[in-house]
Amino acid sequence: MVSALDRKLLREVRATGAMLIAITSIIAVGVMCFVYMRSAYYNLSLAKFRYYNQCRMADFWIEVKKAPLVDVDRLIDVPGVTAIRPRIQFFATVDLERVIAPLNGLVLSLPDLRKPIINDIVMQSGGYFTDRRANEVIVNSAFARKHGIRPGHTIHLLLNNRRQELHVVGTAISSEFVYLVSPGSLAPDPEHFGVFYIKRTYAEEVFDFEGATNQIVGLLDPAHKETPGEVLRRMEVMLEPYGVATSYGLRTQTSNQFLSDEIQGLGVFSTIMPAIFLAVAALVLNVLMIRLIDQQRTIIGTLKALGYYDSQIFLHYTKFAMAVGLFASLIGLGLGYAMSHFVLSIYKMFYEFPSLENHIFPGTYLGGVAVAVLCALIGSLQAARLGLSLKPAEAMRPKPPPQGGEIWLEHFSGFWSRLSFGWRLVLRNVFRHKLRTSVGIFATSLGAGLLTCGFILTSAIAFLINFQFELVTRSDVDLHFKDEQGRPALLEAANLPGVSLAEPQFDVSCTFVNGPHRRRGAISGLLPHSQLTTPRDVDGERVRIPSVGLAMSSKLAEILHLRPGDHVTVLPTQGRREELHVPVTALSDSYIGMAVYADIDYLSHLMGEEFAVTGVQLAVDGGELQRNSLYREIKQLPGVQSVNVRADVIRNMEFIVETQRIFIVFVVLFAGVIFFSSLLNSSLVGLAERRREVATFRVLGYNEWQVGGLFLRESLVVNSLGTLLGLPLGYALAWVLARVYDTEMFRFPLVAPTWVWYAAVGMAIVFALTAHAVVQRAINRLDWLDASKTKE
Amino acid sequence: MSASGPATESGTLLQIEDVGKTFQMGEVAVEVLRDISFDVRRGELLVMVGPSGSGKTTLLNIMGGLDTPTVGDIWYGEQNLAVASPRELTRYRREHVGFVFQFYNLVPNLTARENVFVATEISKKPLDVDETLEMVGLGERMDHFPSQLSGGEQQRVAIARALAKNPQLLLCDEPTGALDYETGKNMLRLLVDLSNTLGKTILIITHNTAIAPVANRVIRLRSGEIHEVHDNPHPQPPEEITW
Ligand SMILES: Nc1ncnc2c1ncn2[C@@H]1O[C@H](COP(=O)(O)OP(=O)(O)OP(=O)(O)O)[C@@H](O)[C@H]1O
Ligand SMILES: [Mg+2]
């Protein structure tokens, strides 16, 4: 049988009504965030772990110009290296019959016969190479999916300046390309960039690489996995004669870095978000419980008089809170499961796994419930203790009337005397209920902070795209050559159909050294007055490309501890590879990568050339027809390694923005829950406490709207104070995030256009009014005649 | 009458010796009770009268283990309530005392029956809840909530709640205070009957001196001191008194 006290509890829970919905929703959102973020975290981690194991994911990558296998095999003797696999890697353009636009691809060699290898593939359809033909290809699944390529089809790739026909035997994925992005871009673009695996023997033949390699992947022993720097340097020294282009460990491998950053971010947010919500929930519950205990003074006294032990009474009241916590957390679990499902479906659009399932991790779900119940317990502790400290004899005596002294504002008599009666009442209430007011301000400031931060992030992404793809890069089509070329290549490009402007670009990959600080990178040689790439500073102002020295990205300068005027040592990894000392003349800003610019003539001379280009940027006029003939011609151009169309890049970035927007909607919703619930709770608690007062006003002839106005003004005062604090809080939060995500690959600008502030304040007001609508309804329905009779 | 009684001979249930109570109100100490000594005898109906503020409730609270005296002793058998721990006092209240409060103090969210259950659930040898409610004349309205009951009915629930625990001692603070004349009289009738039929020890405190004649013994309190104690060998039935 349910005990009488438990029955009382159940009825009270039900009678708490709207207040309970408020608390329940905050806790539920907190638990939901905890569950879905933790679940996504574990599911992604698990999928990553399994996938990496399945494919024997490499610990390091080294790219060289061309090295004989016999010498490369000696790398295995370097201490720390446990296995290596030399392979052949080239970029190529892809020619599909029905696709006019040029497409890019990465070509990788695989053993002719299937065997376990480092960076293996997982077949998705078809099968591995056969011995029927040499020119077989396995295409990465996403590209194949986008273009409807299936085993049995043939495709054409421009390999080593020759158009080659390849037979598709299968489609596959690999842990190397969970997040597949073409060099220099941020988002996967499966439509325009694919990976093509060909037989090792075939690759040797078409690229003239018999007995040679240009990329070594390998494994390290556990002691060196995390810190491969030293081992890499040793191997670089051994490979020095063959022109080391780059080397990196797993941590900075592009796909892995994107994936690991995402997982790490989830880990952090899965702590922060629930913490915010549960902290607010505990405080709001605290307000509610204190009010409940206060209201039940005599009941508590009576229970004590009847002979209930303190522990029983304590349990009774904490049970109330825990019942609320438990109930809310169950809702949170359901929402969390659904949300985790949804989030994983979004991840599947960006990350390619053999399987990414929404496993239920019992620990996470139990943890969610435990955290919620604990938070409810904490929220009720103070109130329950307050109930215990009541002496039974005292609890039975009527409560002393609430003290009604002056509040400090009244000392400013000039100000105070000018206030209307209503405002005085409102301010007295706000200042007299210090706990409730502070909780309200705290909660709304977190809500406003969340909103502001969310809005700042949205505008940051928009700003970044505009900065990078409208301000800095303005070309319509970029061509990258396989090798250095001379002036004729530029002229040829300029004469392509529809091209209104062609500007040369000369990229030199190199290592920058300043004392102990070194970084791999590249210098882009541009025309001093280039129109199609215009380096910018933070304010978006054009940075002039110096005739002598470098215009360096401020992020790289920071890493290398360089200031304008300093000299930096440049070790080119191509061409003559002589050590150069050049001044850093100017700083530029970019949010993707770490660009370094120089005058193309200056850079050519540094490299001992008269005039060299590795790419051409094109501005294109004309309509679709002209475009199509341009694309057709580009496909015929020999020596082109990749072609990038800016419109595609932007369209692809916009897809990211769209996805981002979904999360912003959630942030706004979550913030709304905090605002709505905390304001609703404090107004309803106030109303419950002041039923008599409200009744008195009604008896005196005030209508329900005038009475409601008093409550509205109170909640607006709290709301505006909270929002005012929340705006800088949100900015600070965004600042912290900008610091956390300030990586070499990607940074986001901390921009807060005015709309951010207006939107945050606007939303805050909307939420406050929505909450008030519920309160007003309660006032309209209040049986004030009855209330004026109740003793309280 | 309950079999489990303290080992007191001579029919003394509670022995109050030189009890005093002082409340500390910030700087000032207010002496509310002074030199109070008397015995409560087993099975008697005791009425304590005194003007408002004379310390009746304070004394009742001390006798019921809701509060402790500043000086003096209260002996309940071998146990001195004056020095008992909060836990011992709780057990004393739980097992031996029933309270009836002036404002009934029912739990609003529980029905009449459930309000009685709240008390019986924690007692060792409770009476049957429904029977008790019938005894106080509330057999019909057991499933009503307090807000659906009149003041007199609520007071009956409160009495049933105190009774159902089957305590030695029933302490009633102004049981008629909030009731109209007729209902008040009925309430007195009920208490007198309970004393006669069940042999309960009942203490009624009131500022209404007219009630005194129904008692076996009357204690008059004035300004925190016992002004007079007198035995009443022939108590009047409640119907015959007026106020
Ligand atoms: N907890 C307390 N703190 C301070 N003073 C108290 C406290 N409890 C009672 N008093 C004071 O002690 C005095 C006696 O109070 P008590 O309630 O015992 O009187 P009473 O005889 O029951 O009066 P009434 O008939 O009005 O109920 C009063 O002056 C009261 O103000
Ligand atoms: Mg009293």
Element (H, E) at A66: strand A60-68
DSSP 8-state assignment for residue A495: T
A306 contact B CB<8A: yes
Inform me whether the C-beta atom of residue B123 falls under 8 Å from chain A C-beta atoms. Answer: yes
Residues of B in Cβ contact (< 8 Å) with A792: none
Give the other-Cβ count within 10 Å of A74's Cβ.
Answer: 12
Answer whether A169's CB lies under 8 Å from A129's CB: yes
| A7, A393, A396: residue with CB nearest B110 | A7
Is any Cβ of chain B less than 8 angstroms from the Cβ of A308?
yes
Cα distances (angstroms) measured from residue A337 to each of A32, A330, A372:
8, 11, 16
C-beta separation of B133 from B115 below 8 A? no
Among residues 148-177 of chain B, which lie with CB inside 8 Å of chain A?
161, 165
Structure tokens that stand for A649 in this block: 């890049």
Question: Least CB-CB distance to A305: which of B86, B93, B123?
Answer: B93
Which is nearest to A291 in space by CA: A691, A723, A716, A752?
A691
Q: Are A198 and A30 in contact (CB under 8 A)?
A: no
Q: Give the gap in angstroms from C-alpha A683 to the nearest C-alpha of chain B.
A: 23
Sequence ranges of the domains in chain B: 42-67+86-240
User: What pLDDT score does A744 carry?
Assistant: 77
In angstroms, the separation between the Cα of residue A306 and the nearest Cα of chain B is: 6
What's the confidence (pLDDT) of residue B6?
Answer: 41
- Tell me if chain B has a CB within 8 Å of the CB of A633: no
Chain B residue with CA closest to A306: the answer is: B94
pLDDT in tens, A484-511: 899 999 999 999 988 999 999 999 989 9
Tokens encoding B17: 């010796």
Picking from A442, A464, A304, A404, the residue whose alpha carbon sits closest to that of residue A718 is A442
Residue length of chain B: 243
Nearest to A154 by CA among A180, A163, A162: A163
Helix (H, G, I), strand (E, B) or coil at A162: strand
Q: Give me the pLDDT at residue B216, please.
A: 93
Atom 18 (ligand 1) nearest CA: B55
State which of B27, B57, B221 you would mutate to test the pocket of ligand 1, scoring each by most atoms of that ligand within 8 A of its C-beta.
Answer: B57
Ligand nearest to the backbone CA of B224: 1
Which chain A residue shows the shortest CA-CA distance from B119? A306
A140-154 tens-digit pLDDT: 999 999 999 999 999
Q: Which helix (H) or strand (E) holds A393?
A: helix A392-396
Q: Do A305 and B115 touch (CB under 8 A)?
A: no
Nearest to B93 among A298, A306, A391 (CB): A306
Distance, C-alpha B15 to centroid of its chain = 16
Contact A309 B161 (CB under 8 A): no
Rounded to the nearest whole angstrom, what is the distance from the C-alpha of residue B214 to the centroid of ligand 2? 20
Residue nearest ligand 1's atom 26 by CA? B52
How distant is the alpha carbon of residue B182 from its chain centre? 21
Which residues lie closer than 8 Å to A268 by C-beta, 6 or more apart?
Answer: A740
Q: Tell me, yes or no, if B1 comes closer than 8 A to chain A by beta carbon.
A: no
Chain A residues with CB under 8 Å of B123 CB are 307
CA of B53 from ligand 1 middle (Å) equals: 5
How far are the Cα atoms of A376, A499, A555, A625, A645 from residue A633, in angstroms, in the given order? 69, 12, 38, 13, 15
Residues of A within 8 A of B88 (CB-CB) are none
Per DSSP, the residues of A84-148 read: EEEE-EEEEEEE-TT--S-EEEEEEEE-SS----TT--EEEEE-S--SS-S-EEEEEHHHHHHHT
pLDDT (0 to 100) of residue B9: 46
Strands B12-25 and B71-76: antiparallel
pLDDT of residue A27: 93
User: What H or E segment, with its residue span, contains residue A377?
Assistant: helix A362-389
Cα(B82)–Cα(B70) distance, integer angstroms: 8
Top-confidence residue, A624 or A774? A774
One-letter amino acid of A71:
D
Return the closest-CA partner of residue B225 out of B24, B30, B31, B1.
Answer: B31
Helix and strand counts by DSSP (H, E) for chain A: 23, 20
Distances (CA, A) of B59 to A521, B74, B91, B203: 90, 11, 19, 11
pLDDT tens for A405-430 read 677 777 888 888 888 888 888 888 88
Question: Region A177-204: what's the mean pLDDT?
Answer: 91
Query: What DSSP character marks residue A411?
Result: G
Residue B97 and residue A393: Cβ atoms within 8 Å? Answer: no
Among chain A residues, CA nearest to B57: A393
CB proximity A788 to B under 8 Å: no
For chain A, the average pLDDT equals 89
Tell how far the Cα of B212 is from the centroid of ligand 2, in angstroms.
16
Return the closest-CA partner of residue A8 out of A250, A285, A287, A295: A295
A308: chain B residues, CB-CB within 8 Å = 90, 94, 122
- Per-residue pLDDT of A669-694, as tens digits, reads 998 898 888 888 888 888 888 887 88
Q: Do B95 and A303 touch (CB under 8 A)?
A: no
Mutation target to probe the A interface, by most A beta carbons within 10 A, among B99, B111, B123, B145 is B99
Q: What are the CB-based long-range contacts (under 8 Å, 24+) for A754-757?
A: A755/A455, A755/A459, A756/A452, A756/A455, A756/A456, A756/A459, A757/A452, A757/A727
Of the candidates A723, A720, A725, A728, which has an alpha carbon nearest to the alpha carbon of residue A752? A728
Give alpha helix (H) positions in A744-792. Answer: 754-781, 784-789
For residues A162-191, b (16+ Cβ closer than 10 Å) or e, as one string?
eebebbbbbbbbbbbbbbbbbeebbbbbbb
Interatomic CA distance for residues A183 and A187, integer angstroms: 10
With 0-12 CB in 10 A as exposed, 13-18 as middle and 19+ as buried, what is B73? middle
**What pLDDT is attached to residue A46?**
95
Topology classification of domain B42-67+86-240: Rossmann fold (3.40.50)
How far is the alpha carbon of A788 from chain B, nearest alpha carbon, in Å? Answer: 15
Residue nearest to atom 22 of ligand 1 (CA): B57
Q: What is the 3-state secondary structure (H, E, C) of chain B?
A: CCCCCCCCCCCEEEEEEEEEEEEEECCEEEEEEEEEEEEEECCCEEEEECCCCCCHHHHHHHHCCCCCCCEEEEEECCEEHHHCCHHHHHHHHHHHEEEECCCCCCCCCCCHHHHHHHHHCCCCCCCCHHHHHHHCCCHHHCCCCHHHCCHHHHHHHHHHHHHHCCCCEEEEECCCCCCCHHHHHHHHHHHHHHHHHHCCEEEEEECCHHHHHHCCEEEEEECCEEEEEEECCCCCCHHHCCC
Comparing CA positions, the residue from A220, A259, A273, A215 lying closest to residue A239 is A215
The minimal CB distance from A8 to the residues B110, B123, B161 is found for B110
Ligand 1 closest atom vs CA B30: 5
Other Cβ atoms within 10 Å of A345 Cβ, number: 11
Q: Does B90 touch chain A (CB under 8 A)?
A: yes
Each domain of chain A, given as residue ranges in start order, spans 53-257, 433-473+647-792, 499-620
Contact A668, A530 (CB under 8 A): no
Count A/B contacts: CB-CB distance under 8 Å: 81
Q: What is the pLDDT of residue A422?
A: 82
Could you tell me if A73 and A199 are in contact, meaning their C-beta atoms sit under 8 angstroms apart?
no
Could you list the pLDDT tens digit for every one of the 243 residues in chain B?
333 334 444 589 999 999 999 998 888 999 999 999 999 999 999 999 999 999 999 999 999 999 999 999 999 999 999 999 988 999 999 999 999 988 888 988 899 999 999 999 888 889 999 999 998 888 888 999 998 898 889 988 999 999 899 898 999 998 888 778 888 888 888 889 888 888 889 999 998 888 999 999 999 999 999 999 999 999 998 888 887
Residue of B21, B56, B61 to mutate, ligand 1, most atoms within 8 A of C-beta? B56
What pLDDT shows up at residue B3? 37
Ligand that comes closest to the CA of residue B67: 1
With 70 as the cut, is the pLDDT of residue A790 above it? no
Of chain A, the percentage scoring pLDDT greater than 90 comes to 53
- Is the pTM higher than 0.95? The answer reads no
Q: A622: which 2 tokens?
A: 């004309």
Higher pLDDT, B42 or A623: B42
A393/chain B closest Cα distance in angstroms? 5
Q: Do A715 and A683 form a contact (C-beta atoms < 8 A)?
A: yes
Q: What are phi and psi of A212, to 5 degrees?
A: -135, 170
| CB burial of residue A789 (10 Å; 0-12, 13-18, 19+) | exposed
Output the pLDDT for position A702: 85
Taking the centre of ligand 1 as the mean of its atom positions, its distance from the CA of residue B219, in whole angstroms, is 18
Task: Give the long-range contacts of residues A338-341, CB within 8 A, separation 24 or more.
Answer: A339/A32, A339/A35, A339/A36, A340/A35, A340/A36, A340/A39, A340/A40, A340/A43
Instruction: Please give the structure tokens belonging to residue A119.
Output: 């960076």
3-state secondary structure of A429: helix
Using CA positions, which residue lies closest to atom 31 of ligand 1? B53
Does an H or E element contain A256, and which?
helix A254-295
Torsion of CA A461, A462, A467, A470, to 10 degrees: 140
Give the per-residue pLDDT at A165: 95
pLDDT beyond 80 at A710: yes
Chain A: closest CA distance from residue B119 (Å) = 6
Question: How far B177 CA lies from chain A's nearest CA (Å)?
Answer: 15
When CB atoms are compared, the residue of B103, B122, B161 closest to A308 is: B122
Q: Which candidate in B93, B105, B159 is best for mutational testing of the A interface (most A CBs within 10 A)?
A: B105
- Asked if the C-beta of B100 comes within 8 angstroms of chain A's C-beta atoms, the answer is no
Give the C-alpha separation, B22 to B29, whole Å: 6
B21 near A CB under 8 A: no
| ∠ CA A636-A638-A642, rounded to 5° | 85
- Reply yes or no on whether the pLDDT at A745 is more than 80: no
- Phi and psi for A190 in degrees, rounded to 5? -60, -20
> Which residues, including other chains, have CB under 8 Å from residue A771's CB and lie 6 or more apart?
A675, A676, A677, A679, A680, A683, A715
Contact B90 A303 (CB under 8 A): no
pLDDT band at A698 (very low <50, low <70, confident <90, very high): confident
Q: What is the pLDDT of residue B4?
A: 37
SS3 state at A360: coil
Question: Measuring from each residue's beta carbon to the nearest atom of ligand 1, which residues come in under 6 Å?
Answer: A 394; B 23, 25, 30, 32, 50, 52-58, 207
For residue B71, what are the β-bridge partners?
Answer: B20
Task: Name residue B170's amino acid.
Answer: L
Closest A-chain CA to B91? A307
- Residue with the smallest CA separation from ligand 1 atom 1 is A394
Question: Helix, strand, or coil here: A504?
Answer: strand
To which H or E segment does residue A590 belong?
Answer: none
Give the model's confidence band at A404: pLDDT under 50 very low, under 70 low, under 90 confident, else very high: low
| Distance (Å, whole) CA A157 – CA A90 | 11
Q: Which residues are registered as beta bridge partners of A617?
A: A478, A503
CA-derived radius of gyration, chain A: 34
What value does the mean pLDDT take over residues A738-767?
87
Tokens of A562: 């360089």
Residue A198 structure tokens: 């060909």
